[in-house]
Amino acid sequence: MAMCLAVISVSAYIAFPLPFTPAMVVASTAAMCFTAFILTPKQTFMTLVAYLILGGVAGLPILPGGTGGLGRLFGPTGGFYFAFVVAYTMVSYFKGNVVSLKRYSLISIIISLPITYIGGLISMMLVLNIGLEAAIVQAVLPFIPGDVVKCILGAFIGVRVNRALGSE
């Protein structure tokens, strides 16, 4: 768990802003993805809650772009953070016992992306006071291709680690 938390925190420094949205493109979702495949659902939940407490409440600079603080959790992109906890705990729950790149990739794309986007949509609509269409443009559409790639990357690492640990 500590190792996954460390990787998620370090990967948060691989992030860059886009001019038309407050949400950054982040690498940490790939790290959360393989966390879900390596750990149990309970461990995944605890790792992500610890990440939000350390980055959001304690203000350590481990949220995307080396940021931290409650302002991130309750700002326009805050919904993404809360959604991460639900999304990746569910990915871990539904990963099953078969270690397969195809299965892991599909599970992460089908489960994590919609939940994450719903969280981001809600916070953007509430905090920025914008409509659903504008929120979709800022919270969902620009991220889909990269997020699919990150799901596959997270699945790939999850498969390799699980096979190395002999968990199949």
Ligand X SMILES: O=C(O)CCCC[C@@H]1SC[C@@H]2NC(=O)N[C@@H]21
Q: Is 29 in the site for ligand X (CB under 6 A)?
A: yes
Q: Which residues have C-beta within 8 Å of that of residue 140, sequence separation ≥ 6?
A: 117, 120, 121
Q: Which of 34, 45, 51, 80 binds ligand X (CB under 6 A)?
A: 80
- The C-alpha atoms of residue 95 and residue 146 are separated, in whole angstroms, by 21
Q: How many residues bind ligand X (CB under 6 A)?
A: 14
Q: Which of residues 98-117 bind ligand X (CB under 6 A)?
A: 116
Q: Which of 35, 77, 89, 162 binds ligand X (CB under 6 A)?
A: 77
> Given the complex with ligand X, which of 112 and 162 has the nearer CB atom?
112
The only residue of 4, 8, 26, 109 in contact with ligand X, by rule CB under 6 A: 26
| Per-position DSSP letters for the chain, written without gaps between them | -HHHHHHHHHHTTSEEEETTEEEEEESHHHHHHHHHHHS-HHHHHHHHHHHHIIIIIS--S-BGGGB-SHHHHTSTTHHHHHHHHHHHHHHHHHS-S---HHHHHHHIIIIIHHHHHHHHHHHHHHHHT--HHHHHHHHTGGGHHHHHHHHHHHHHHHHHHHHHTT--
138 belongs to the binding site for ligand X (CB under 6 A): no
* Minimum CB distance to ligand X, residue 100 (Å): 24
Choose the stretch contacting ligand X; rule: CB under 6 A; options: 18-26, 39-47, 126-134, 159-167.
18-26
User: What is the contact mask toward ligand X in residues 35 to 54, using x (rule: CB under 6 A)?
Assistant: --------------------
Q: Which of 1, 7, 25, 127 binds ligand X (CB under 6 A)?
A: 25
Spatial distance between the Cα atoms of 125 and 133, rounded to a whole number of angstroms: 10
Shortest Cβ distance from residue 104 to ligand X (Å)? Answer: 18
What residues make contact with ligand X under the rule CB under 6 A?
23-26, 29, 64, 72, 77, 80, 116, 120, 143, 146-147
